[in-house]
Amino acid sequence: MTSNIYAEGEPIDADSVVLRYTGNEVVIESFKQNNNLYLQPISASLLNKKDINNLNIVNIKEITSLIPNLFIPDYGSKMTSPVYIRGIGSHRNAPSVGLYVDGVPYFDRSTFDININDIERIEILRGPQGTIYGRNTMGGIVNVFTLSPFLYSGTNLSLSAGNYNNYSTGVSHYGKVDNKLGYSLSANYGHSGGYFKNITTNKKADPIDAASTRARISWHIMPRLTAHLTLAYEYSDQDGYPYRILHKETGKIDNIDYDARSFFRRNMSTNGLNVEYVTDLFKIASQSSFQFFNGKQGLDQDFTPQSLYYSDFYQRQQMYSQEFNIKSLKEDSKYKWQFGVFGFHQNYYQMNDTDNLSTGGHTIQHAKNPTNGFAVYHQSTINDLLIQNLSLIAGIRYDWEKTKSTMDRSTPKGVEPTVKGKTSFSQITPKLSLQYLYGYDKMVYATVAKGYKTGGFNNTAEKEEDRIFDPEHSWSYEVGTKSSFWNNLLSLDASLFYIDWKDQQISRTKPSGQGFVIKNAGKSASKGFEVTAQLNPLKNFAFQISYGYTRAKYKEYEDYLEKQDKTIVYDNNYLPMVPQNTLLLAANYIIQTNTKWLDNITLNAQYTGAGKIYWTDGNDISQPYYGLYNSKITFSKKNFSVDLWTKNIGGKDYISYYFNTTNATKHYVQKGKPFTCGINMNFKF
């Protein structure tokens, strides 16, 4: 059962496709932000529970291109999920886009690929979010919210089956006790037989088994005091890395052809406690969280039928965070304010064992990187500034953190001395916006904000001067408008942006040519625009188009190859991993049958496109623009529904990921998933 609250008291069809906030929709208020993204001077998109179901989204990577200028390349496993928004992203080090689930921050890229069953909504905020969210949110924020037992009740059971031996099942229950205590419990299991065959082993290269469970308790302790406890656990075991050799000169792509099993296995526990006290004038909130994960990777590093190199990589994280927030609540006040303080401790450990199978020699490295951080922030809003409906929003945040590194390394030549180091970083990030409302559903805005991403250690650096890399910074400028016309027949969002990116953290080859380090080596500029339009010509019909254009280029970037004693200049080249265009066309039509056996039929069709994408700094390898066609038909009767779905109709052949060896002598690609289809059955009790 879905519960919606509308400001005007006029209900909207719950089955309609709404991919963002409309002018008359209000959702449950979250920990720090206001309750209606549509009234904020920010580029934001929303996928609610109905959208996630209609678009048949099963993992976080599938929101690529559904949101303007958002790209999450399909890497070979859950170990890495690089996220790019407006060209801002990170391939090999810490993320540049933040992820929060029910207010809990996810700091490591190995935690981003999460289970999204029983999700109420996903919000994507584009542009720097440092004022409120802080650490490493230079590109934006992905906010995920799970279902609340105060809004949903009953038991849900889902079963799914598809080609390539894809199967999944999930069960969840939501209940309340005396309207004061709400509880929920869910469990999910999924299996994929894999999409691509390894001709050496004669087996699929990428099968996966994954299981997850989530529990939530929401308690109205007192009329003004509420607590929410969330507990989540995920386990996955996958044979990943369906990589193929790409012949750069001819464009030919070989079959998957390597002998040793490559895999990634992950355990992850994420827990959060939110406590809120509400008065007539303000709200005080506390968010406590703990996240633990460990992951083990086994990788055939030569990707050939020969037994040459094999690597075992282990990583473990323990992350604690605490945040306190207080903000005003009077909606009709000319002055609104918000204050917060945030602290965290992240304990990170990794071990890398590289085996030279031809010689029997091992290189084993252990590294520990404990990090502590602290931040304070404030945001003020002055309404009716000089003239009615003109608002000024000003915010500022101060971040400080200290990190250490301890590295031990042994090679066939012997044990090397322990290398230790410590450093600290601090930064002030301001933000300023002007917003003008005209009518209850129209606004224009202009925003300037500073973005910041923390520095860190290169644990495997060969030179002392390469051991530490500094923070990177950006200034982002944006103007936009949000409008609704003819009683929500048409909704339109549009924005223009320019990002000046300095001290850029870039992955560069080590002097020996073996491996990579992060260095502050570049300056870039990213500019573009975004348009999202939704048309609701009929009660049962909705159509949406979302388009994003990004032109992200290096302004200054020179790479000195010490081993070859030459310098390569990349000035004016496009940034890799950034699609120049993203496009979504989506249509949803509901046929109301109201027969004995059927209530309605929902038809959904989508077209998503992305590209051109350059994979290298030299812009010599790229993926042209490509488009995918997806569809879904849902037959519903009261508390039972059946979905028939297809993805990548026509089997479009495209590259979803690329990398090369450290000396760029070999090039590897991963292909996008082929045509898939299946059936879902959903029961509500």
Counted domains in the chain:
1
Give the residue ranges of the chain where pLDDT is below 70: 1-36, 512-514, 563, 662-664
Each residue of 648-671: pLDDT tens digit? 999 999 999 998 876 667 899 999
Q: Please report the pLDDT score of residue 22 as a whole number.
A: 33
Q: Please report the pLDDT score of residue 412 as a whole number.
A: 86
The DSSP code for 111 is G
Each residue of 443-468: pLDDT tens digit? 999 999 999 999 999 887 878 888 89
Beta bridge partners of 352: 313, 365
CA 552 to chain centre: 20
Q: Please report the pLDDT score of residue 373 as a whole number.
A: 95
Cis peptide before 652 (omega within 30 of 0): no
Distance CA 445, CA 434 (A): 5
Pairing of strands 140-146, 97-101: parallel
Q: Which helix (H) or strand (E) holds 54?
A: helix 49-54
Give the sign of the dihedral formed by CA 223, CA 224, CA 225, CA 228: positive
CATH of the domain at 222: 2.40.170.20
Closest-CA residue to 643 (of 657, 631, 633, 654) = 633
CA 648 to chain centre: 22
Q: Please report the pLDDT score of residue 551 as a whole number.
A: 97
Give the sign of the dihedral formed by CA 583, CA 71, CA 272, CA 209: positive
Q: Which residues 6+ apart lie within 8 Å of 164 measured at CB?
A: 192, 193, 194, 195, 676
Q: Please report the pLDDT score of residue 596 as a whole number.
A: 84
3-state secondary structure 470-526: CCEEEEEEEEEEEEEECCCCEEEEEEEEEEEEEEEEEEEECCCCCCEEEEEEEEEEE
Q: Please report the pLDDT score of residue 567 as a whole number.
A: 85
Residue 506 belongs to domain spanning: 5-684
Give the sign of the dihedral formed by CA 448, CA 449, CA 450, CA 454: negative
As given in the structure block, the two tokens for residue 238 are 């996958």
Q: Please report the pLDDT score of residue 128 as a whole number.
A: 86
